Structure 1
Amino acid sequence: MSSAPMGEAASVEGEAARRETLRVQVRLDALVQAIVAGGDGRPRLEPERRALVDAARAALDRLGDGGSALAQASRAQPSAAPDAPDTASLSPDTVLANTYVVRDRIGRGGIAEIYQVRHRELRRDHAVKILRPDRVRDPVIARLHVAEARTLMSLRHEAIPQVRDLLRHADGRAFIVMDLLHGETLARAIWARGGLAPDEVAVLARRIAGALAAVHAAGFVHGDLSPENVMLCGGAAGATLIDFGVARRIGEPDPEIAFAGKWSVAAPEQLDGQPGGPAADLFALGLLLACAARGERPPLGTDRESARAARLRPPDSGLDGRLGRLVRALLRADPDRRPSAEEVLSRLGACGWLPRVLRRR
């Protein structure tokens, strides 16, 4: 029996599913507009808006794809078309803002693309983060993209990439110019070579905790600390925290997004509907260190319910001694009992098992 009819049937079913998803997106867009403003166009009062947001959360959660809930908010907009083919939107030698010449695309995510560019006059290479064409008309994502640049420009730490500028391309897309990082993500390193040695995990912990301390001291929450968002630039000693796309001010939840980040790194309080503060970043750090030590990703959840079930038994890092106790402390269910980023640095700095090079630094 030929397999062609089966393939055609699957294609028809897939197209029907995509059309239904688009119809849901349009309805959700109308819902979002109704939450923000009343029929007369005036903004709703905060208590009324919160009640409507709570009522809409269940519907938004059901649209999850197992990854970022920010993508759910994106798909709630009528202009967010299905994913475009994996082709670079900027070709080599494209000139951005009459200053930067595109050399090559070096990364692509669900929302943005990363390019290596060269300054025409200074002859220096940088990285440019620009929204994908199929995401640029989404007002929520466009706002978060600009907010990411503002956040990064207010931060100064060796483990945080420095933003140089926020400019606009001729097609209207804003792009962030930042330092070019050379290395690989922690996720790729684990997948390729397995877990890190305990000394390397300690160095990684101190480096990322330092970045989080700077983020929190500036009044922000990163909100998406994961192995994909840590670059190893010359190993753990050069670990750099990247992707501040969903970073926000501490204590200022976004009324347009119920949850932003990945369910797999969400803290228990976030799974219960709370916005999550600095302690949520520290919980994610504990998960990150456990993954780095194990060399694998334990089941951490792909949606709210599976993530909540996974939190009943935090992953075992396999680490002994002070470092193991520190990771377990970071993974406590009660956010008030987790150490802060500064406390993590204090514990690590006092440990005699840290590598000699780190003690010298």
Structure 2
Amino acid sequence: MSREEEAARRETLRVQVRLDALAAAIGRDGDGRPRPEPERRIVLDAARSALDRLADPGLPAAPPGAADATLLPETIVANTYAVRERIGRGGLAEIYRVRHRDLRSDHAAKILRPDRAVDPVLARLHVSEARALMALSHPAIPRARDLLRHGDGRAVIVMDLLRGETLAEALRARGALPPQDVAALARRLSGALAAVHSAGLVHGDVSPENVMLCGGAQGATLIDFGVVRRAGEALPDVEFAGKWSVAAPEQLAGRPGGPPADLYALGLLLAAASRGERVGTGRDRESAQAARASLPDPGIDGRLGRVVRALLARDPEDRPDAEAVRDRLDGGGVFGWLRRPPRAGA
């Protein structure tokens, strides 16, 4: 045996001894007594996380978590995903960047905040969001990879990781979008809504906060399906879901709103993108109704302007559907309107 081989053998033995000691430490405490199962899992996860970092030298050290984050860096979800950092937080849920421990791929994980997870209605909506995303396939809709359970029982939706800013952030930072970007938004989002509506679903919250600009307007992606529902159905135990600022007139009148309500919200979104400011805002039913009484001109010319004005029609039957929007934008004339199927729950 050569000197190099002997040195390698000795190093292998030393590593094996250390691993045996680690395994013993995981299974038993300092007095040699078996660790309780919850404690054993905590120690095992910490050891695996350390080994993960050793196995992937290019993996940066996890940044410190926010003081109010409910999942700390290096938390292991379902023995599969390691939490890296929190990248978003809303009133109901948090979004984390997680890494698959074996595939070394990064994903987004959405989990309800602990104070919201105890609400059975919100917990049910969270699972419904996962089901909807797994049933949809479109470039402008994030793909859901899995629905897992955290150790405390909360459901975790694992999705593709999107990189970019929301449309709301872009408008606050730079104001109105150029006309060609507004047109790109219209094509991209109407395509996403066509996929949603073809599946018999209603998004229910089409707003600048729920559109990610991944590489600009050409990569716009519709996110947050947290209040998605079947077309024509109201959400059980929920008087109104979504934002009053983008609610359609029929929703303000107390009806649940079907696909045409999504299209009305799309019209408001496109007008906001063109003007650089929100159109038709409202924080409650009364203020939203007052705002709808005299909507300002969307400030869009040409074919796109005509489409946006049609989307903002008060009567849902006068609005084009998502397929018709794409037809009109591409110069398809009135044929898209003639193809429009009857809408339940408008």
TM-score, length basis structure 1: 0.73
- Match 1:222 to one of 194, 198, 203: 203
Secondary structure of the residue aligned to 2:117 is: coil
Distance in structure 1 (CA, Å) of the matches to 2:78 and 2:247: 38
AA aligned opposite 1:235: G
1:154 matched residue in structure 2: 135
AA aligned opposite 2:174: R
Any stretches of 5+ residues in structure 1 without a counterpart? Answer: 1-84, 352-361
Distance in structure 2 (CA, Å) of the matches to 1:315 and 1:270: 20
Distance in structure 2 (CA, Å) of the matches to 1:255 and 1:139: 11
Distance in structure 1 (CA, Å) of the matches to 2:247 and 2:103: 42
Are 1:110 and 2:114 an aligned pair?
no
Distance in structure 2 (CA, Å) of the matches to 1:309 and 1:296: 18
1:319 matched residue in structure 2: 300
AA aligned opposite 1:333: R
Secondary structure of the residue aligned to 1:135 is: helix
- Match 1:258 to one of 232, 236, 239: 239
TM-fit CA distance, 1:86:
6.7
Secondary structure of the residue aligned to 1:332 is: coil
Partners of 1:279 and 1:335 within 8 A in 2: yes
Partners of 2:142 and 2:160 within 8 A in 1: yes
Q: Deviations over 1:214-266 (max 9, x none)?
A: 00000000000000000000000000000000000012212311110000000
AA aligned opposite 1:140: V
**Which range is displaced more, 251-260 or 150-159?**
251-260
How many residues matched?
268
**Superposition map of 1:133-144 within 5 A:** 133-144=114-125
AA aligned opposite 1:125: D
Partners of 2:280 and 2:295 within 8 A in 1: no
Distance in structure 1 (CA, Å) of the matches to 2:100 and 2:67: 26
Partners of 1:222 and 1:247 within 8 A in 2: yes
Partners of 1:131 and 1:173 within 8 A in 2: yes
- Match 1:201 to one of 164, 171, 182: 182
- Match 1:245 to one of 220, 226, 229: 226
Partners of 2:268 and 2:279 within 8 A in 1: no
TM-fit CA distance, 1:298:
3.6
Any stretches of 5+ residues in structure 2 without a counterpart? Answer: 1-65, 333-346
Q: Percent identity?
A: 71
TM-score, length basis structure 2: 0.76
Are 1:188 and 2:169 an aligned pair?
yes
AA aligned opposite 1:308: Q
- Match 1:343 to one of 324, 328, 338: 324
AA aligned opposite 1:294: R
Are 1:172 and 2:122 an aligned pair?
no
2:144 matched residue in structure 1: 163
1:125 matched residue in structure 2: 106
Structure having the higher Rg: 2
Secondary structure of the residue aligned to 2:237 is: coil
2:23 matched residue in structure 1: none
Partners of 2:279 and 2:295 within 8 A in 1: no
Distance in structure 2 (CA, Å) of the matches to 1:349 and 1:211: 16
Distance in structure 1 (CA, Å) of the matches to 2:280 and 2:262: 19
Aligned Cα root-mean-square deviation (Å): 1.4
Secondary structure of the residue aligned to 2:115 is: coil
Partners of 1:195 and 1:293 within 8 A in 2: yes
Secondary structure of the residue aligned to 2:118 is: coil
Distance in structure 1 (CA, Å) of the matches to 2:132 and 2:246: 21
TM-fit CA distance, 1:103:
0.6
- Match 2:283 to one of 275, 284, 302: 302
2:313 matched residue in structure 1: 332
Partners of 1:92 and 1:104 within 8 A in 2: yes
TM-fit CA distance, 1:144:
0.2
AA aligned opposite 1:260: A
Are 1:279 and 2:260 an aligned pair?
yes
2:11 matched residue in structure 1: none
TM-fit CA distance, 1:299:
5.1
2:75 matched residue in structure 1: 94
Higher relative contact order by CA 8 Å / sep ≥ 6: 1 or 2?
1
- Structure 1 stretches of at least 4 aligned residues deviating more than 6 Å after TM superposition: none
Distance in structure 1 (CA, Å) of the matches to 2:99 and 2:190: 32
